[in-house]
Amino acid sequence: MYQYVLKRLLLMIPTLLGAALLVFLLLRLVPGDVCVLRMTGGAGYVDPKAIALCRSELGLDRSYVVQFLTFIWDFVRFDFGKSMWTGRPITEEVGLRFELSLQIAIMATITAIMLAIPLGTISAVKQNTWIDYVVRGFSIAGIAMPSFWLGILIILGLLITTKSVFGSPWMPPIKYVPIWVDPLYNLSMTIFPALATGYRYSAVATRMTRSALLEVLREDYVRTARAKGLVQKLIIRRHALRNALLPVVTIIGIEFAFLMGGLVVTEQVFNLNGLGKLFVASVSNHDYTMTQALVMLVVTIFVVTNFVVDIIYAWLDPRIRYK
């Protein structure tokens, strides 16, 4: 097991290096640069010398090789440098957003698990009954409906409902306050995006739970359990569900990592100052250092999440031994 863990940890190095090279090259393939954007964004006149000075300050006049090696050397030392757009330390800029993205990801994951596992289980156990059809309809709708669109509907619904009930329209706050500062305010902002994304997330997991459980319920050991007179609840909980959860855990892990940096549109719909919004801003601003740091952060989250999922496999299924 320890050897396996060590091997997996070492495998992370080429993965991260490959991702670093890819993001570095892709960013430089896009025409335009941060200085031109920054100084002519208002469409006013700007002295070309000012643009040249800006490029030199940011090191954009150096060769690509030097720029790449600097990026890798800084990454190895966990020094992400400064944002080319704001000039502020990247750790400071990312730290502010990380907290919110993490909270939304956790809340959405909890929502998804709370919906997916019971619904997927009921749907499998009551296969081809009206309950199964309702659950399948619910989960297909969740897959078909983009979470940002659901978010827009939620906000509009809140505005219209509160206006007609209370006389004045209400919508979730658009400015983040940490949960330990004002829990009620924080939850009134974060609960709706968590529900919107959690629903879509749960839809995938529900379908996965259902199909995995159906497969397991046909296994010999389940039949044996039934034959020896075990009650259905016990068979499902102790024998079937635990085995059926393996693919569900994979889905949950991947989705969780995705939520940390991929909630681009949902964050914009709810004006959440999260990593996804920062990602979009840094790409459109040609902020190379920030985009590189964010990509590396998300890649690291994916790699670590995959690693954790593999470890959970072993806990869920003792037959897996990683030799």
Binding site for another protein (CB under 8 A): 30-33, 36-48, 50, 53-54, 85-88, 92-93, 96-97, 152, 155-156, 158-159, 163, 168-171, 173-176, 268-271, 273, 277-278, 281, 284-286
Nearer to another protein, 205 or 278 (CB): 278
- Cβ 166 to another protein, closest distance in Å? 12
Nearer to another protein, 76 or 181 (CB): 181
For residue 131, which of 140, 139, 122 has the smallest C-alpha distance? 122
- Cβ 167 to another protein, closest distance in Å? 11
Task: Give CA–CA dist 139/204, Å, rounded.
Answer: 7
- Cβ 230 to another protein, closest distance in Å? 54
Nearer to another protein, 18 or 32 (CB): 32
Nearer to another protein, 281 or 296 (CB): 281
Phi, psi of 82 (to 5 degrees): -115, 150
Task: Give CA–CA dist 218/68, Å, rounded.
Answer: 54
Q: Are 123 and 135 in contact (CB under 8 A)?
A: yes
- Cβ 191 to another protein, closest distance in Å? 16
CB count, 10 Å around CB of 302? 19
- Cβ 150 to another protein, closest distance in Å? 14
The β-bridge partners of 82 are: 89
- Cβ 278 to another protein, closest distance in Å? 6
CB count, 10 Å around CB of 314? 14
DSSP letter, residue 127: T
Q: Are 259 and 190 in contact (CB under 8 A)?
A: no
241-262 and 183-217 helices cross at what angle (nearest 10)? 140
Nearer to another protein, 45 or 315 (CB): 45
Nearer to another protein, 210 or 286 (CB): 286
